[in-house]
Amino acid sequence: MADVFDSIITRHPSRFILLAIILLLGFGLRTHAVEDRSLWADEGWTMLLSEGPGLDDITRTMAADQHPPLFFMTFRLWRTVAGDSEFATRFFSVLIGVSAVAIAFQLGRTLFNAEAGLLAALLLALADNHIDLSQEVRHYAALTTLAILSSLFYVRWWRRPTRTNRIGYVLASTLLLYTHYLGGFVLIAQLVHMVIAARPWRRLVEAVFLFGAACAGFLPWMLVVLDQNRLRWDNPLYYQNALPNNMDTYRAVRAALFGSQYGLMAGLLLLGLVYVTYRRGGERLTVRLRPLWPVVYPAIWIALTTGITVIINENKQFLTVRNFILITPAVVVLVAHGLTNIQRPVRVFLVSIIVIVGLTTVDSRRHYPDWRAVTRNITDYHLDGEPVLIDVWVGDFPVRYYIDQQMGEDTPRVSLREWRDVFQDQFMPHLLGYLQQTDAFWLVYWGDNPMDEYGDLISQAGFQRTASLSVDHMGTPLYSYRYDKLTGAREATFGDLFTLRKVNTPHIAAPGDTLTVTLWWTAEQQPTLDYSVSVFVLDPAGALVAQHDAPPMDGASPTSVWLPGDLKYDVHRVTLPPGLAPGDYELGLKVYWYGDGEPLPVAVPVAADDTPGITTGGDYASLGTVEVTANP
């Protein structure tokens, strides 16, 4: 293939420049906003399945999954080099997606001509569905690239049956099967094309031999495939997002394949099935069907993949819009050929419209739950060692990733979905025993009523929900709950409204550090106003050096909705000035209504054993001192 690109550079530099511009465009569109969305369930699954530690471990893991292992093994190698950041993990698919644009040029050029190749590359670079899937930590970009590569070597062998093309076809096709089972549809399309178009018959014998060699390379994995197929339909994790055969599904597929210009694109695709020539300055037009085999191959590719998908989906639902990325290369090649059948002035106009619309509209971009924000709600208020329970079906895979990234891999985390599978009838007793061993935990939940399932068990373990944070996902809340055990302690009271039940403060810090002060409250009666909490630092002379004023939980837990006796969690962070002198500094606490700024009167109960604790400074509670040390 390198010699082809060399010839383009040396003989057709303008063509090379156009291709370079198209590749840069494809790269820019695939890297733009690549980190805007958080990882979704399947991407988190990819991260989990590719953890290793070795490639043999990944192979064994994938044997128990529903996919072949190649992408996950190569992705593991990529993670070792590039790291586990969101950008690094998605950039792997970005590079694979851009390579598909380059190979699409070669496919269009080999099937028809160089101009069709450039247009095919441009159309694929602009294809929203391909852009979307090239920004995912999934194997769909690799599926597309290898489908184009297999087709390219197939078509090149058809034109020139050289050893390079034979080996390239067998290797690319085998890798395609090891990347995604849907790649088999492309190989079946090639087999049908062989039977229809092979002349003389000895070419059919060689074609079938090459097809058989590609399949033979996949034979070692076939027993695994049969076992996966036996289990996949019974496992609730698989195919829960499959769509039925109905008009809504077909409209979604149409939007993914053709975009909002589906009428124009479909018309160009049909025009790509023939050859149009113009004579005498365009006055005479000739339409012909031959050579037939170049247009028949992508047509079979589209029709056979679509037909088999619809037929299988009627009995075993597995259809998803993303699966149709498999026929996107065939679509863009035929549309590109259709454009070359139009006279140049009209062609330039249509291509301009396609580019403008492609750059200014988005026809296919999925909206995923923002698990990054959901986990961030916990990270911002999480204390070391507190476990995080996850009850969000397969969404727990990206949540695990973000817990590791944001809070550290040592953070205890539990997938309640997995525990249900493992412990079955003993799930609830096991969960109760686990909760009884901790004083606080967090729960990530997707839904409205987590208490319906095990709320009584949480209460039985002595916990109250002390914080409730949520992120909206298309009208459905994604919750981050916190639970604590209520103690009988009373550290201080503020007016006749609030009791400070527990406090956690740092005892040593350096200049410029941020102090995290954690408070647990109960309301003695339901407040009618939303009060604010002030946590501040006083120097030895009593002068204010730092403070943080905010409603509880930065406004996420307004006091006007607190019910008497309910325990409420609250966190405040106070940043010390960088030039603070070493010494002992006092931490103070006030509660006030922003409307008048008057602090509530403070009362501190006297400890029965006279042990020192919280004291009152008049209109504030003194939480003790923090030692500020000199910077090293």
The helix (run of H) or strand (run of E) holding residue 605 is none
Task: For residue 493, give the 3-state DSSP assignment.
Answer: strand
> For the residues of 382-405, what is the DSSP string, one character each?
--TT--EEEEBTBTHHHHHHHHHH
Look up residue 343 and give its DSSP letter.
Answer: -
Look at residues 40, 84, 7 and name the one whose alpha carbon lies nearest to residue 399: 40
Q: How far is CA 487 from CA 263, 490, 563, 566, in A?
A: 68, 9, 17, 12
Residue 416 domain flag: yes
User: What pLDDT is stored for residue 107 in this prediction?
Assistant: 97
105 and 174 share a domain? Answer: yes
Which of the listed residues 457, 485, 513 is the one where a domain comes to its end?
Answer: 485
384 and 250 share a domain? Answer: no
CB 127 within 8 A of CB 26: no
Bridge partners, residue 564, by sequence = 523
Other beta carbons within 10 Å of 285: 12
Token output for 318: 């597995």
Strand pairing class (508-509; 621-628)? parallel
**pLDDT at residue 78 tops 60:** yes
314 and 168 share a domain? Answer: yes
pLDDT band, very low/low/confident/very high, at 103 (cuts 50, 70, 90) = very high
Look at residues 571, 566, 570, 572 and name the one whose alpha carbon lies nearest to residue 463: 566
pLDDT band, very low/low/confident/very high, at 13 (cuts 50, 70, 90) = confident
User: What pLDDT is stored for residue 282 in this prediction?
Assistant: 59
Bridge partners, residue 444, by sequence = 390, 480
Residue 540 domain flag: yes
452 and 387 share a domain? Answer: yes
Residue 366 domain flag: no
The helix (run of H) or strand (run of E) holding residue 415 is strand 413-415
- The stretch 25-44 carries a mean pLDDT of 95
Domain of residue 623, residue span: 492-628
- The stretch 60-78 carries a mean pLDDT of 91
Which of the listed residues 445, 465, 485 is the one where a domain comes to its end?
Answer: 485
24 and 57 share a domain? Answer: yes
> The CATH number of the domain where 614 resides is what?
2.60.40.770
> The CATH number of the domain where 436 resides is what?
3.40.190
pLDDT tens for each residue of 151-179 = 999 999 999 999 999 999 999 999 999 99
CB 350 within 8 A of CB 142: no
Task: For residue 303, give the 3-state DSSP assignment.
Answer: helix
Residue 365 domain flag: no
**pLDDT at residue 39 tops 50:** yes
> Do you find a cis peptide bond into 200, omega within 30 degrees of 0?
yes
Distance CA 436, CA 432 (A): 6
User: What pLDDT is stored for residue 243 in this prediction?
Assistant: 87
> Do you find a cis peptide bond into 632, omega within 30 degrees of 0?
no
pLDDT tens for each residue of 205-223 = 999 999 999 999 999 999 8
Q: What percent of the chain has pLDDT over 90?
A: 75
Distance CA 397, CA 169 (A): 36
Residue 223 domain flag: yes
Q: What percent of the chain has pLDDT over 70?
A: 94
Distance CA 128, CA 364 (A): 5
Other beta carbons within 10 Å of 279: 9
- Residue 378, burial from CB neighbour count under 10 angstroms (0-12, 13-18, 19+): buried
pLDDT band, very low/low/confident/very high, at 631 (cuts 50, 70, 90) = confident
**pLDDT at residue 19 tops 90:** yes
**pLDDT at residue 137 tops 90:** yes
309 and 408 share a domain? Answer: no
pLDDT tens for each residue of 418-467 = 999 899 999 999 999 999 999 999 999 987 665 567 778 898 899 999 99
Distance CA 141, CA 148 (A): 11
pLDDT band, very low/low/confident/very high, at 66 (cuts 50, 70, 90) = confident
425 and 305 share a domain? Answer: no
User: What pLDDT is stored for residue 233 in this prediction?
Assistant: 60
Structural domains in the chain (count):
3
User: What pLDDT is stored for residue 425 in this prediction?
Assistant: 92
310 and 376 share a domain? Answer: no
Residue that wins the pLDDT comparison between 234 and 547: 547
244 CA to centre of own chain: 24
Residue with tokens 């069709």: 116
pLDDT tens for each residue of 454-505 = 778 898 899 999 999 999 998 889 999 999 998 888 999 999 999 999 999 9
Please state the φ and ψ torsions of residue 414, each to the nearest 5 degrees. Answer: -130, 125
Which of the listed residues 340, 360, 380 is the one where a domain comes to its end?
Answer: 360
**pLDDT at residue 4 tops 80:** no
462 and 496 share a domain? Answer: no
291 and 415 share a domain? Answer: no
608 and 499 share a domain? Answer: yes
74-88 per-residue burial string, b: 16 or more CB within 10 A, e: under 16: bbbebbeeeeeebee
pLDDT band, very low/low/confident/very high, at 606 (cuts 50, 70, 90) = low
Distance CA 143, CA 125 (A): 16
- The stretch 384-400 carries a mean pLDDT of 90
Residue 291 domain flag: yes
pTM score, whole prediction: 0.89
User: What pLDDT is stored for residue 608 in this prediction?
Assistant: 46
Distance CA 616, CA 620 (A): 6
266 CA to centre of own chain: 31
Residue 186 domain flag: yes
User: What pLDDT is stored for residue 63 in this prediction?
Assistant: 84
130 and 228 share a domain? Answer: yes
pLDDT tens for each residue of 261-286 = 899 999 999 999 999 988 876 567 88
> For the residues of 167-220, what is the DSSP string, one character each?
HHHHHHHHHHHHH-TTHHHHHHHHHHHHHHH--SHHHHHHHHHHHHHHHHHHHH
469-497 per-residue burial string, b: 16 or more CB within 10 A, e: under 16: bbbebeeeebbbbbbbbbeeeebbbbeeb
Residue 294 domain flag: yes
Look at residues 555, 559, 626 and name the one whose alpha carbon lies nearest to residue 588: 626
